[in-house]
């Protein structure tokens, strides 16, 4: 049985005030959900988020980490540093990092190796662009990203995959539940072909304009194990409804 997982990717948003307000409503002591809940604020807000989530069922993750362990890499943050701070999770290979920071499959693979070595729980993002989908290349692209990151790694059972079609991120367009399910089933089949991965034990999240209004239908698909939520995770009420759709309070 795969436990549902709902992650909020706050991207480059927030102030210390808004982090406090949001987490007061999201991370409530004594409240637990059927779904595992994780929030991923910007690096500078991680410590504050960790403090506010202490004693609650909400975990904290980062949005990226370096592929290097330590050294003269100005501006970088290592997986070890994140673990040392108290983070449990890290998002890797988000399409915005691939698009705006030129992250290749090889770099994502190196970051994944660093995260696994530090025993962080990695969420590897994959997904095709609109042009790639229209050209009939969606599965090819997702397979290349998946294999590029995961093949030849040890400890794959800890890895979560997030399918985020680039055309659905922040656009208000969502893959239909059937479209998303098809790709999730494809991803699970691909995971089955990657040595060391047990596809039935690994969680595959959907991401791209997930909101309270469409979450339940997406989560109703057999291969969708939760969501990576961007915009809607900045609204406590929306986010709580998405978490509830993934299983409800315990
Ligand atoms: P969105 O972002 O929910 O705002 O579309 C999802 C993501 O980029 O992880």
- Note whether residue 190 is domain-resident: yes
For the whole model, what pTM was predicted? 0.96
Domains: count for the chain:
1
168-178 tens-digit pLDDT:
988 888 889 99
Distance of CA 128 from the midpoint of ligand 1 (Å)? 14
Q: Could you tell me the CATH number of the domain that includes residue 32?
A: 3.20.20.70
Residue 181 CB neighbours (<10 A) = 18
* Domain membership flag for residue 250: no
Ligand 1, residue 9: give the atom nearest the CA: 9
Is 28 part of a structural domain of the chain? yes
Asked if 164 is an active-site residue, the reply is: yes
Q: What is the dihedral of CA 72, 80, 63, 51, to 10 degrees?
A: -120
Residue nearest to atom 1 of ligand 1 (CA): 230
pLDDT tens for each residue of 211-226: 999 999 999 999 999 9
Kindly state whether residue 17 falls inside one of the protein's structural domains: yes
Query: Domain containing 181: what range?
Result: 5-245
Q: Which segments within 120-199 are labelled E, that is strand?
A: 121-126, 160-163
| Residue owning the nearest CA to atom 2 of ligand 1 | 230
Q: What is the pLDDT of residues 121-166, one digit of tens each?
A: 999 999 999 999 999 999 999 999 999 999 989 889 889 999 999 9
Tell me if 226 is assigned to some domain.
Answer: yes
DSSP-based three-state secondary structure for 93: coil
Is the pLDDT assigned to residue 250 strictly greater than 60? no
Task: Please give the Cα distance from 144 to 98 (Å, whole number).
Answer: 14
């Amino acid at each position: 049985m795969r436990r549902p997982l709902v992650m909020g990717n706050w991207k480059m948003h927030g102030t210390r005030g808004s982090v406090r307000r949001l987490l007061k409503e999201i991370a409530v002591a004594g409240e637990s959900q059927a779904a595992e809940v994780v929030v991923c604020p910007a690096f500078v807000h991680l410590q504050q988020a960790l403090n506010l989530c202490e004693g609650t069922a909400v975990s904290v993750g980062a949005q990226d980490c370096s592929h290097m362990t330590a050294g003269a890499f100005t501006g970088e943050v290592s997986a070890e540093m994140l673990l040392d701070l108290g983070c449990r999770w890290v998002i890797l290979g988000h399409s915005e990092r691939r698009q705006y920071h030129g992250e290749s499959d090889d770099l994502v693979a190196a970051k994944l190796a660093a995260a696994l070595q530090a025993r962080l729980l990695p969420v590897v993002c994959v997904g095709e662009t609109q042009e790639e989908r229209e050209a009939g290349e969606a599965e090819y692209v997702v397979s290349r990203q998946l294999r590029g990151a995961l093949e030849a790694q040890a400890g794959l059972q800890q890895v979560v995959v997030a399918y985020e079609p680039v055309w659905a991120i922040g656009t208000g367009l969502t893959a239909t539940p059937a479209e998303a399910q098809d790709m999730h089933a494809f991803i699970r089949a691909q995971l089955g072909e990657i040595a060391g991965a047990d596809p039935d034990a690994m969680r595959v999240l959907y991401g791209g304009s997930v909101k309270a209004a469409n979450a339940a239908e997406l989560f109703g698909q057999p291969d969708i194990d939760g969501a990576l939520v961007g915009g809607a995770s900045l609204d406590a009420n929306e986010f709580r409804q998405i978490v509830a759709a993934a299983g409800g309070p315990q």
